[in-house]
Structure 1
Amino acid sequence: MRVRGFIALSLGALAALTAAAPAGAGDVLTGTLKKIKDSGAVTLGYRESSLPFSFLDGTGKPVGYAIDLCLDVVDDIAAEIGRPDLAIRYEPVTSENRIPAVTSGRIDIECGSTTANPERRRQVAFSPVTYLSATKLLVRRDSPVKSFRDLAGRTVAVTAGTTNEGALRTLFAQLKIPATIVTGRDHAESFAMVKDGRADALGLDDILLYGLIAGAGPEGAAYTVLPDKLSFEPYGLMFRKDDPEFAGLVSGTFTRIAESRELRWLYEKWFLKRLPNGERLNVPMSDELRTSFQVIGLQD
Structure 2
Amino acid sequence: MRYLPGLAWRGLAAVALAACAATAAAADITLEKIKHTGVITIGYRASAAPFSFDAAPGKPAGYAIDICQRLVAQLREQLHLPSLQVRYVLANAAERVAKLDSGEMQMECSDSTNTKERREQAAFAPAYYYAGTRLLVRADDSADSLAQMGGRSVAVIAGSTGQAIAKARKDAGVNLNIIEVPNAAAGVRAVVEKRADGTLSDDIVLLDQAKMLKDTVKVVGPKMSVEPLAIMLPRHSPDFRNLIVRSMLDLLRDGVVQQLYQTWFENPMPVRGYSLGTPPDALLKDAFRRPSEFVSEWTVM
TM over 0.5: yes
Q: How many residues align?
A: 266
In structure 2, C-alpha distance between the alignment counterparts of 1:238 and 1:149, rounded to whole Å: 32
Of 195, 200, 204, 1:198 maps to 195
**Residue 242 of structure 1: CA displacement?**
3.4
Q: Does 1:277 align with 2:282?
A: no
Structure 2 length-normalised TM: 0.85
Q: Relative CO higher for 1 or 2, CA cutoff 8 Å, sep ≥ 6?
A: 1
Matched with 2:137 is 139
1:294 Cα offset (Å): 2.0
Deviation at 1:60, TM superposition (A): 4.4
Contact 1:76 1:249 in 2 (8 A): no
TM-score, length-scaled by structure 1: 0.85
Alignment of 1:155-166 (within 5 A): 155-166=153-164
Listed one character per residue, the Cα deviations across residues 155-199 of structure 1 (whole Å, up to 9, x for unaligned) are 11111111110111101211x111101111222211110000111
Deviation at 1:84, TM superposition (A): 0.4
Superposed counterparts of 1:49-64, under 5 Å: 49-58=47-56, 60-64=58-62
| In structure 2, C-alpha distance between the alignment counterparts of 1:151 and 1:89, rounded to whole Å | 42
Contact conserved, 1:148 with 1:228, CA < 8 A, in 2?
A: no
In the alignment, residue 193 of structure 1 is paired with which amino acid?
A
| CA–CA separation in structure 1 for the residues paired with 2:214 and 2:240 | 40
The question of 1:180 aligning with 2:177 is answered yes
2:242 aligned with 1:248: yes
Quote the offset at 1:59 in angstroms: 5.6
State the alpha-carbon separation in 1 of the partners of residues 27 and 65 from structure 2. 25
Q: What amino acid sits opposite 1:229 in the alignment?
A: K
SS in structure 1 at match of 2:117: helix
Structure 2 segments unaligned to the other structure (5+ residues): 1-25, 293-301
In the alignment, which residue of structure 2 is the partner of 1:92? 90
Q: Which residue of structure 2 lines up, in the alignment, with residue 12 of structure 1? A: none
CA distance in structure 1 between the partners assigned to 2:273 and 2:58 by the alignment: 16
Contact 1:33 1:77 (C-alpha < 8 Å) held by counterparts: no
What does residue 285 of structure 2 align with?
Answer: 290
**Match for residue 251 of structure 2?**
257
Aligned to 2:114: 116
SS at match of 2:36: helix
Q: Is the 8 A contact 2:253 2:288 kept in 1?
A: no
What SS class does the counterpart of residue 221 from structure 1 fall into? Answer: coil
| Counterpart-to-counterpart distance in 2, 1:59 and 1:91 | 12
**8 A contact 2:126–2:249 mirrored in 1:** no
For the residues of structure 2 that align with 1:255 and 1:185, how far apart are their CA atoms? 32
Larger Rg: 2
Unpaired stretches in structure 1, ≥5 consecutive residues: 1-27
Check conservation: 1:95, 1:161, Cα contact below 8 A: yes
SS in structure 2 of the partner of residue 57 of structure 1:
strand
Alignment correspondent of 2:126: 128
Cα-to-partner distance string for 1:46-74 (whole Å, 9 max, x where unaligned): 10000000100146410101111111111
The 3-state SS of whatever aligns with 1:182 is: strand
**1:269 alignment partner AA:** T
1:211 aligns with 2:208: yes
CA distance in structure 1 between the partners assigned to 2:245 and 2:185 by the alignment = 32
Aligned-CA RMSD value: 1.5
Counterpart of 2:165 in structure 1 is 167
Counterpart Cα distance in 2 of 1:147 and 1:46: 30
The answer on whether the counterparts of 2:111 and 2:229 sit within 8 Å (CA) in structure 1 is yes
> Structure 1 residues 94, 59: closer, same or farther in 2, change over 3 A?
closer
